[in-house]
Chains A and B, each alone.
Chain A
Amino acid sequence: MQVLANLVVLTAIYALISCGYVLIYRVSRVLNLAHGELMMLGAYLLFTLASLFKGGPELAFAGAVGLSLLVGFVLYVVLMRKMTGELVIAAVLVTIALGILLRGLMVLIWTARDLHPISVLGWKNPPVPLGGGTSISSVALATILVAVVLYLALMLFFRYTRWGLQMRAVGERPLLAAQRGIKLHAVYALAWALSTFSGGLAGMLLALDSGLGSTMVIVGLKAFPAALVGGLDSLLGAVVGSFIVAAAEILAIHFIDPLISDVVPFVVLIAMLLVRPWGLFGTKEEIERV
């Protein structure tokens, strides 16, 4: 039972992170390999705001979420916007460089030691019993709820709103979308903002549950196979991919050795790339051949 509960929690974490990869890939075919660092940046922002607004933890949390949204927007406008029209691979390389830069900056600003934003916020994280001796932490429960709400909101957003429709249109044919009067840069900026928003949220929840340190980047990187297994341009695929990667990881921890847990997602990734490179729910034609 406890295994099952852990599986659901880990799936929720991966799902929250991987949708950020999907959002950007879907509209611009760019893999944002700085997503792990951006997620960590969200968590650090929470820590800083929590230290600043000692009296209002809710305000600090809301502020950090808002700032995460802003980070994506600003990143697009000042950096990635310049990359439109360049090769996709060039844009991906820029995100790698950005990730390394961010990691360095974060060590400079917040040092490399482990931080615990939850104690600064003054919140508690009691275990929630689920019956049968099983329990998960309150933050873990919140993570599951947030993941569910976020995915439902995003699916409704894509299906029923004009911005969502424009994002789908731009994702398929940017040139035609522009010719129909859709503002390309606004759509891309929104995708980046939503991506850092969801990623930042994931980072904050993770930091609340288990503290904040340089290892968080690894979690972000492990969510990448989850997005890719699902197919990179599908939200549903990201959920299923997250579940598969989480399941493989938890099974490996239980039956083989906890030490290999960080390796498992990438084994799944390689297996998937060999069998079905476009992922479970991805669009086959969308893959750019090597």
Chain B
Amino acid sequence: MTESPPMLRLEKVEVVYKKVITAIQGVSLDVQQGQIVVFLGTNGAGKTTTLRAISGFIGTDDAWVTEGRILFEGQDIANWPPQKVANRGIALVPEREKIFETLTVMDNLEASVGAGASRATRKRMIDTVFDHFPRLATAKTRLAGYLSGGERQMLAIGSALLCEPRLLLVDEMSMGLAPRLVEELLDHIVTLKKTLGLTILLVEQSAHLALGIADYGYVIENGRIVLDGTRERLGGHKDVQEFYLGQGGGDARKSYREVKQYRRSRRWYG
């Protein structure tokens, strides 16, 4: 751990849905400024809930952070509404429902620029997005609902950038995309980190590509964090190799759930 206070710190965060269903419990993690942090876990492990807890719930989610703190730059933002979190400097690229399908590409971007920006400023900001993703510029007038999977992802990332975040949360970017496309998008993420000085928290199911660009990683299972470490440590860890990198040998990729006893060192607070 570095000495400087982290940009984002989750302290024993618990999220409860519909007042009874506990989705995550005692989740603690740190994201240092300027890092790319990967958050690994299988379906239903609590990755998306964690990201959503950071970016804020709306009424229809019927979800609350019931315990713990979410500190962003020292301020507790737990249970803030999404629009407030977005204006505070955290933007989320959701896994599903990430673009407005009935709006054109241009309108998607326009709608995401923060209030109060002048016409010239808006144009400049949107042009910056087009510089990063030239394919969006050629599809400006198309309805976002007709975009391909890769273009959707680019539009979603581009829209999130227009909120001028300092911390970007990206949920399951690789979902349903060809591996080559995922690689291309991950390259973009690295570029964004370098050119804009962004800090990025990346959620992934498959560690293959994500670990390659990460500075640090966490593994979440059943709503609890069980493992964390640098890329080298995680990549070299036997369980990660077996369950998330598919290098278990023998049968096809196994799930941690099939293993009766955890061999790993459990690591959660509280």
Give the interface of A toward B (CB within 8 A). Answer: 84-86, 162, 165-166, 168-169, 172-184, 283
Chain B residues with CB under 8 A of A175: 58, 60-61, 82, 97
Give the chain A neighbours of B99 by CB distance below 8 A. Answer: 176
| Given contact pairs A85-B60, A165-B110, A179 touches B102 in the complex (Cβ within 8 A) | no
**B59 and A182 contacting across the interface, CB-CB below 8 Å:** no
Closest CB pairs A-B (n = 8): A85-B59, A181-B86, A178-B82, A180-B112, A169-B111, A84-B59, A179-B82, A178-B83
Encode contact with A along B46-81: 1 for CB under 8 Å, 0 otherwise: 000000000110111110000000000000000001
**Could you say which of A84, A86, A174, A177 contacts B111, with CB atoms under 8 Å apart?**
A177
Is B163 positioned at the interface, with any CB of A under 8 Å from its CB?
Answer: yes
Q: Please indicate the chain B residues that have their CB under 8 angstroms from the CB of A166 in the complex.
A: 111
Residues of B within 8 A of A (CB): 55-56, 58-62, 81-83, 86-87, 91-92, 94, 97-103, 107, 110-112, 114-115, 159-160, 162-163
**Residues on B with beta carbons closer than 8 Å to the beta carbon of A84:** 58-60
Determine whether the beta carbon of B60 is less than 8 Å from that of A179: no
8 Å CB contact of A184 from B83, B102, B110, B162? B83
Chain A residues with CB below 8 A from B159, complex form: 180
Cross-chain pair count, CB within 8 angstroms: 82
CB distance from B106 to the nearest CB of A (A): 10
What residue of chain B has the Cβ atom nearest to residue A82's Cβ? B59
Cα(A86)–Cα(B94), bound, Å: 23
**From DSSP, what is the main secondary structure of chain A's interface residues?**
helix
Given known A85-B59, A166-B111, contact A180–B163 (CB-CB < 8 A): yes
In the complex, A103→B81 CA distance in Å? Answer: 36
Question: Once bound together, how far apart are the Cα atoms of A173 and B94, in whole Å?
Answer: 12
Is A181 in contact with B112, judged by CB distance below 8 angstroms?
yes
Contact A178/B58 with A173-B97, A183-B83 known, Cβ cut-off 8 Å = yes
Q: Can you name 20 A-B residue pairings with CB atoms under 8 Å?
A: A85-B61, A165-B107, A168-B100, A168-B107, A169-B100, A172-B100, A172-B101, A172-B103, A173-B97, A175-B61, A179-B82, A179-B83, A179-B94, A180-B111, A180-B112, A180-B162, A180-B163, A181-B114, A182-B111, A184-B83
Q: Which residues of A sit under 8 angstroms from B94, Cβ to Cβ?
A: 176, 179
What's the least CB distance linking B47 to chain A, in Å? 17
B69 to nearest A CB, angstroms? 21
Whether B83 contacts A165 by the Cβ 8 Å rule is no
Task: Please determine whether A162 and B103 come into contact, CB atoms closer than 8 angstroms.
Answer: no
Contact (A178, B86) CB under 8 Å given A165-B111, A172-B103: yes
* Interfacial chain B residues near A162, Cβ < 8 Å: 110, 115
* Cα(A166)–Cα(B83), bound, Å: 13
A246 to B45 CA separation, bound complex (whole angstroms): 56
Q: For the complex, what is the distance from the CA of A94 to the CA of B121, rounded to whole Å?
A: 42
Residues in A neighbouring B160, C-beta threshold 8 A: 180
Closest CB-CB distance, A109 to chain B, in whole Å?
A: 34
- Which residue of A173, A174, A179 contacts B91 across the interface (Cβ within 8 Å)? A179
Among B56, B58, B87, B163: residue with most chain A CB under 10 A: B58
Say yes or no: A181-B110 contact (C-beta < 8 A), given A85-B60, A86-B59, A172-B100.
no
A182–B100 CB distance below 8 A: no
Pairwise interchain contact B59-A181, C-beta atoms closer than 8 A: no
Nearest to B156 among chain A residues (CB) is: A176
In the bound assembly, the distance between CA atoms of A176 and B93 in angstroms comes to 9
Question: Which B residues are in CB contact (< 8 Å) with A173?
Answer: 97, 100
CB neighbours (8 Å) of A86 from chain B are 59
**Which residue from B62, B100, B103, B115 sits with its C-beta under 8 Å from A181?**
B115
Known: A175-B58, A178-B58, A184-B58. A169 touches B103 (CB 8 A): yes
A181 adjacent to B97 (CB under 8 Å)? no
What chain A residues lie within 8 Å of B81 (beta carbons)?
A: 178, 184
> Which of A178, A180, A183, A184: most chain B Cβ within 10 A?
A180
**Contact status of A174 and B86, CB under 8 A, knowing A166-B111, A169-B100, A181-B112:** no
* Residues of B with C-beta under 8 A to A172: 100-103
Q: How far is the CB of A121 from chain B (nearest CB, A)?
A: 40
Q: A181 with B87: in contact, given A175-B97, A176-B97 (CB under 8 Å)?
A: yes
CA distance in complex: A111, B82 (Å): 46
Contact A176 B100 (CB under 8 A): yes
Question: Whose C-beta in chain A lies nearest to the C-beta of B81?
Answer: A178
Query: Which residue of A has the minimal Cβ distance to B82?
Result: A178
Q: How far is the CA of A173 from the CA of B87 in the complex (A)?
A: 18
Q: Complex formed: what's the CA distance from A187 to B100 in Å? A: 16
Q: Which chain A positions have C-beta within 8 A of B100?
A: 168-169, 172-173, 176-177
Q: With a CB–CB cut-off of 8 A, which chain A residues contact B59?
A: 84-86
Centre residue among B55, B60, B163 by max chain A CB count within 10 A: B60
Tell me, rounded to whole Å, the shortest Cβ–Cβ distance linking B179 to chain A: 27
Give CA–CA (A192, B218) in the complex, Å. Answer: 45
